[in-house]
Amino acid sequence: MATQPGRSTRAAVPAIAAAFAFFALVPLFVSDDYYLHVLVHVLFFAYMASAWNVVCGYTGQLSLGHSALCGIGGYVSTLLFINTGLTPWVGMLVGAVAATGVGVLVGWPCFRLRGPYFALTTIAFAEILRIWTDNTEEIFGIELRGAQGLSVPLKGHVPALFQFDGKVPYFYIILAMLAGVMLVTWWMERSRMGYYLKAIRGDQDAAEALGVNSIRYLLSAMALSSFLTGLGGSFYAQFFRYVNPERIMGLDLSIEFALMGIVGGQGTVLGPVLGSFLLTPAGEITRATLGGRFPGLHLVIYGMVLILSMLFLPKGLIEPLRRLAGRKRVPAGRDEPAAA
C-alpha cells in the first residue's frame, strides 16, 4: 500500500517541533549580529517559499510574479509608516490585504491560462509593476522616489514601531511567521480545499467534469498565498529598513522563491523549508566570496542545483526523507510500502 503524505507529515511532527525548539535557543549561543542576520535571511526565504508553495505547489501552476506581491506589502507598510505614522505592526496587515486584492485581480484572468502561458503572464505583471515603480517619483502627492526607493525612518529602539535593538527580536518574529505559514499549509493540505487543489493539479479538466469549481479554488489559494507573501514583504521592509523596486520586486526574487519550493519539494509542508536551508546559505556564501567579481553567480548556482534536482530528485529533497520515514514504519518481515 502506498505511503500517505499525511502519515509522513505526522511522523515528521516531532522532528519539526524539535527543530523549532532548537532554533528558539540559537540566540542564546549566537550573539554575532552577522550570523543572526544570515539566519533571519534563511528563515525569511523559507517563509516566502512556503507562501509561494501554497498556490503553486498545490495547483501545479508556476508563478514568477510573487516578488510583485512582496513589493506591494513592503511598499504599503512603509508608505503608511512614513506618511501617517501608522505602526508597521498594523501596516503589515494592510500591506498583506493590499497584496491579496492585487493577487486575486491578477489571478482571475491568469488562471484561465495554463503551463508556460501562466508563468509568462505572471512575469509580465511583476515586471510592469517594477518598471512603473522604478520610474514613478510620486503619485497623488505620495512620494515613491522611483529607483531611489524608500528608507524606513528610524525612531529609536521602539518595539511598538517594529524597531529593535539588534537582530534577535527579528529572528523570533520570522521564526514565528515560518511556524505560522507551515501550520496554514498543513491545515490547507488536509482541508477540502487542499484535496480539490490536488485534483486540479492532477487533471484540471477531469476535476471540473466532476463538479469542482477550479477557478474558485485557484483564486482562494491565490488569495491566501498573496496575503502571506504581502506579510513577508512588509517584514522584509522593516527588517532591512529600505525598499526599492529592483530589490523587492525583481524577477530574481521570484525565481528564488520558486527554486526553493521546487528543489525542496513543492506541494509539501516541509519541502520549501528544506530548499531554503540549502540554497540561501549557498547564495550568501557565493555573494560574500565571489559576488564582487561575478555578479549573479548565485543564480547560476541555483540553476545548476535545479538541474541536478530535476535529474536525481524530481520530487525534491523531501522525497528521500519520506522514503526513510516509510522504511522506519514498516514492521520487520514485511515489504516496504511504496513511496507516495
Question: Does residue 339 fall inside a structural domain?
Answer: no
| Alpha-helix runs per DSSP H in 85-167 | 88-110, 116-134
Question: Does residue 335 fall inside a structural domain?
Answer: no
C-alpha cell at 321: 526523507
pLDDT at 335: 46
Question: Does residue 338 fall inside a structural domain?
Answer: no
> What's the structural domain count of the chain?
1
pLDDT at 160: 94
pLDDT at 243: 95
Domain that holds residue 217: 5-329
pLDDT at 194: 93
Most distant CA pair in the chain: distance in Å? 74
**Per-block average pLDDT, block size 10, for the chain (340 residues)?**
49 80 90 89 97 94 94 97 96 98 94 87 95 93 91 90 93 97 94 94 91 93 97 96 93 92 92 92 77 71 80 85 67 44
Amino acid code (one letter) for 280: T
pLDDT at 329: 56
Task: Return all residues near 223 (Cβ < 8 A) that are at least 6 apart.
Answer: 100, 103, 104, 107
Give the span between the Cα atoms of 201 and 222, in whole angstroms. Answer: 14
Any idea which residue has 561575478 for its cell? 294
Report CA torsion sign: 172, 176, 179, 185.
Answer: negative
Question: Does residue 87 fall inside a structural domain?
Answer: yes
pLDDT at 2: 39
Query: How many angstroms separate the first and last alpha carbons of the chain?
Result: 9
Q: Are the C-beta atoms of residues 202 and 192 closer than 8 Å to each other?
A: no
Question: Does residue 175 fall inside a structural domain?
Answer: yes
Question: Does residue 224 fall inside a structural domain?
Answer: yes
Residue 275: give its domain's CATH number: 1.10.3470
Question: Does residue 334 fall inside a structural domain?
Answer: no
pTM: 0.89
Cα–Cα separations (whole angstroms), residue 303 to 72, 250, 306, 309 = 27, 17, 5, 10
Give the span between the Cα atoms of 274 and 254, in whole angstroms. Answer: 17
pLDDT at 323: 79
Task: Return all residues near 50 (Cβ < 8 A) that are at least 6 apart.
Answer: 178, 181, 182, 185, 228, 261, 269, 272, 273
C-alpha cell at 53: 508553495
Cα 5 versus chain centre, distance: 21
Helix or strand holding residue 242 (H, E) = strand 242-243
Question: Does residue 147 fall inside a structural domain?
Answer: yes
Any idea which residue has 500591506 for its cell? 95
pLDDT at 15: 78
pLDDT at 338: 41
